[in-house]
Amino acid sequence: MFVYPDEAALARDIASIDTLTASPRGRPNMWETTPTFVRSANLAAILLTDSPVQAERLTLAITAGAPQPNSGR
């Protein structure tokens, strides 16, 4: 997980990344399993799991964000 000062800083860093392989563009996948790249605001994460269910759950947890004020939570 990588946390940036703001969304613009994250955008600059991932501009050169192939988000399907979570590797620099033009480079082979360096991970032992297929990565799942997740971006939410100023946070980027690379999930390494062979379980599609686990990858989906983690993606939803990361992208859902904190409960909003007055949401009843």
Task: Output the 3-class SS for the chain.
Answer: CEECCCHHHHHHHHCCEECCCCEECCCCCCCCCCEEEEEECCEEEEEECCCHHHHHHHHHHHHHCCCCCCCCC
pLDDT at 58: 92
The pTM score is 0.77
What does the pLDDT read at residue 49? 94
| Residues 12-55: tens digit of each pLDDT | 999 999 999 999 999 988 899 999 999 999 999 999 999 999 99
Only one residue has tokens 């082979």, namely 28
Q: Is the pLDDT higher at 51 or at 70?
A: 51
- For residue 66, the model assigns a pLDDT of 65
